Amino acid sequence: MKQQIIRCNHIDKDLSRVLRNITFDGLFIVTDENTVKKCFPLIQSTPELQSAKQIIIPAGDNHKNTESLSKVWQFLSENGANRKSLLINLGGGMLTDLGGFAAATFKRGIRFINIPTTLLGAVDAAVGGKTGINFNGLKNEIGVFAPAAAVLIDSNFFKTLDLANLLSGYAEMLKHALLCDGNTTPNPLNELLRFDLDYPDYSKLNDLLFQSVLVKERIVEEDPTEQGIRKALNLGHTFGHAFESFSYEVQRPALHGYAVAWGIVCELYLSFIQWGFDKTVLMQITRFVKENYGTFAFDCKHYQRLYELMQHDKKNESDKINFTLLKAAGEIEINQTAERQEIEETLDFYRENA
Ligand code: GLY
């Protein structure tokens, strides 16, 4: 099923239009304790929502678990949801993942709409049909592929985000730009590198975001269940997930997108040594990441732990560490691997340049 992605100017009116075009029996909304206060007011005047039933779940990735999931199932069940009901998920990636999974499994699947309220959620989690929860200490361990009936994106929600959370989503936009042909005009990567993140023009951000979401949409359409080219979306994430996990171990927690930005620098360096990725572009991105995301400090005694974390990455299909690399922007090489010595050389590059 193709996911409808809607660029909104007035979320209440756009949502109303979407709801008028879907036949449903019973409307339900999941919010969390933050989005109910900061985001729900933007949609609450929508006429179709007046009879909707709402559940508020605790915010934060540590609540993306069976307990919250069970609360949503119970809420649907006790309020008479049936196979024709519709669930609206209003929140960041944690909420759309969990709400999507609750919907996809309730009575073997009811339809749902995602309204992402963070840039990271809009550019990544809410789009593409991955739903799930964390389990047994592992992220996204349980889940299913289930596309939302519609994803409504409105950058007005992002105005309340602090710079760090804006940057976190922006890293995934950088990733998408790197997956596009670098010879097009305007060049998506250059547009992102030029954008002023300190004083964001939200209308321009909305344009850039929408272009970025379309990159993901195209890739997901080609390979919805990640058998092949969808792995392109893992660019930056092998080093990135290792940095993210390590940041928690050393009690300097990094936002997901920061770890991805640092991971992109590393994986472009690996792309340079293995596939001759353009050094000028590599250095341009390295500078951009350093200026905006700062540097994640570690030294060579931490290489072993970072290597172990990469070995445990769930993207690996054998005992080799799996990477997505680039020959150039838009020239994607999935299922690549690297020797330990190349990984250490990459970490050296990161420490010396980023
Ligand atoms: N977050 C990468 C994907 O949706 O495949």
pLDDT digits (tens, 9 = 90+) for 286-328: 999 999 999 999 999 999 999 999 998 888 888 899 999 999 9
What's residue 54's pLDDT?
98
Q: What is the pTM of this model?
A: 0.95
- Of 160, 175, 207, which residue constitutes the final position of a domain? 160
- Of 108, 127, 160, which residue constitutes the final position of a domain? 160
State in Å: Cα 243 to ligand 1 middle: 18
Q: Do residues 143 and 169 share a domain? A: no
Q: Do residues 167 and 154 share a domain? A: no
Q: Do residues 301 and 213 share a domain? A: yes
State in Å: Cα 44 to ligand 1 middle: 30
Q: Which atom of ligand 1 is nearest to the CA of 234?
A: 2
Ligand 1 contact via 233 beta carbon (within 6 Å): yes
Q: Do residues 345 and 240 share a domain? A: yes
- pLDDT category at 138 given cuts 50, 70, 90 is confident
Question: Which of residues 247 and 185 earns the better pLDDT score?
Answer: 247
Q: Do residues 243 and 310 share a domain? A: yes
State in Å: Cα 336 to ligand 1 middle: 18
Q: Which atom of ligand 1 is nearest to the CA of 172?
A: 1
- pLDDT category at 19 given cuts 50, 70, 90 is very high
Ligand 1 contact via 130 beta carbon (within 6 Å): yes
CA dihedral 114, 118, 119, 123 (to 10 degrees): -30
Q: Which residues of 51-86 are buried (b: 16+ CB within 10 A; e: fewer)?
A: ebebbbbebeeebbeeebbebbbebbeeeebeeebb
What's residue 1's pLDDT?
60
Q: Do residues 149 and 200 share a domain? A: no
Contact 133, 146 (CB under 8 A): no
CATH number (domain holding residue 197): 1.20.1090.10
State in Å: Cα 80 to ligand 1 middle: 33
Residue 177, classed as helix, strand or coil, is: helix
Q: Do residues 138 and 203 share a domain? A: no
- Of 128, 145, 160, which residue constitutes the final position of a domain? 160
What's residue 110's pLDDT?
98
- Expressed as residue numbers, the domain containing 337 is 163-353
Separation between Cα atoms, residue 120 and residue 92, nearest integer Å:
7
Q: Do residues 126 and 265 share a domain? A: no
Separation between Cα atoms, residue 3 and residue 172, nearest integer Å:
20
**List of residues 6+ apart from 176 with CB closer than 8 A:** 123, 188, 212, 213, 215, 216
Q: Do residues 191 and 331 share a domain? A: yes
Tally the domains of the chain.
2
Ligand 1 contact via 176 beta carbon (within 6 Å): no
What's residue 109's pLDDT?
98
State in Å: Cα 23 to ligand 1 middle: 29
Q: Which atom of ligand 1 is nearest to the CA of 233?
A: 2
CATH number (domain holding residue 144): 3.40.50.1970
Q: Do residues 39 and 53 share a domain? A: yes
pLDDT > 70 fraction of the chain, expressed in percent and rounded: 100
User: Best of 179, 230, 324 to mutate for ligand 1, by most ligand atoms within 8 A of CB?
Assistant: 230
Q: Which atom of ligand 1 is nearest to the CA of 219?
A: 5
Q: Do residues 171 and 141 share a domain? A: no
Separation between Cα atoms, residue 340 and residue 321, nearest integer Å:
9
Asked if pLDDT for residue 2 goes beyond 80, the answer is: no
Ligand 1 contact via 124 beta carbon (within 6 Å): yes
Q: Do residues 192 and 329 share a domain? A: yes
